[in-house]
Amino acid sequence: MKNLIIIGAGGFAREVFWHAQNSAGFNSDWQIKGFLDGDIKISAEEYKKLPAPLLGDIDSYKICEGDIFTCAVGTPGVRRKIIERMLERGADFVNIISNEIYLSPTAEIGRGVIIVHGAEISELAKIGDFVILNSSVTVGHDSEIGNFSCVMPHAVICGGAKIGAGVFIGANATIIPKVKIGDGAYIGAGSVVLKKVKSCAKVFGNPAIEI
């Protein structure tokens, strides 16, 4: 039996603690050991809310035999830095995939992803490494999501859309079919993206415009 360690100690990390218990592998392959602080420090009151022990921080924690990791940090740039540091130290990341999703048998799923309840991943979709798909996200046929991207609740990525690496897509946003979004872009909550978004751009609105 392996020991899952959740990187992060904020609200999303607490959510991942519960999502993990409804995911493939829980109690059969691994159990939850506790949390590690990431780069964003939280208040003492927030630490008290953690439902499992705080084991230290990502730099001081000594990786033990049987440890496996997931990163519950939702800001793509910070998430990437933390994961890369942990990979350099030999950390083994696993997928946390809810038992309550629709996953096409033709879809491709990368390493270290978090996919929570209600998500739908359609035919020939490709999900990169260390991606977060939050609750009730729809990923259409033949679409792609790049490494380290984070998609918030109820967002819709329509068929053939191409999402770059390190992209943040806010809650209830819609990416229409075949649109391309460049690396590091930020899509505001509720936005409807009708055309290409360049790398590192921040867009918002319906239709989405750069701000």
The strand pair at 30-37 and 2-7 is best described as parallel
β 186-187/168-169 pair status = parallel
pTM for this prediction: 0.95
Tokens of 200: 């590192």
Token couple for 181: 């979004």
Note the Cα 22 to chain centre separation in Å. Answer: 16
Whole-number pLDDT of residue 42:
72
Q: In what order do the strands lie in the sheet with 162-163?
A: 108-109, 126-127, 144-145, 162-163, 180-181
* Low-confidence stretches of the chain (pLDDT beneath 70): 40-41
Structure-token pair, residue 111 = 């390493």
Please give the positions annotated as active site. 141
Could you tell me the two tokens for 146? 């790049």
Domains recognised in the chain with CATH numbers: 2-94 (3.40.50.20), 96-205 (2.160.10.10)
- CB-based contacts of 45, cutoff 8 Å, min separation 6: none
* pLDDT per residue as tens digits for the range 4-52: 999 999 899 999 999 999 998 898 999 999 999 887 667 778 888 999 9
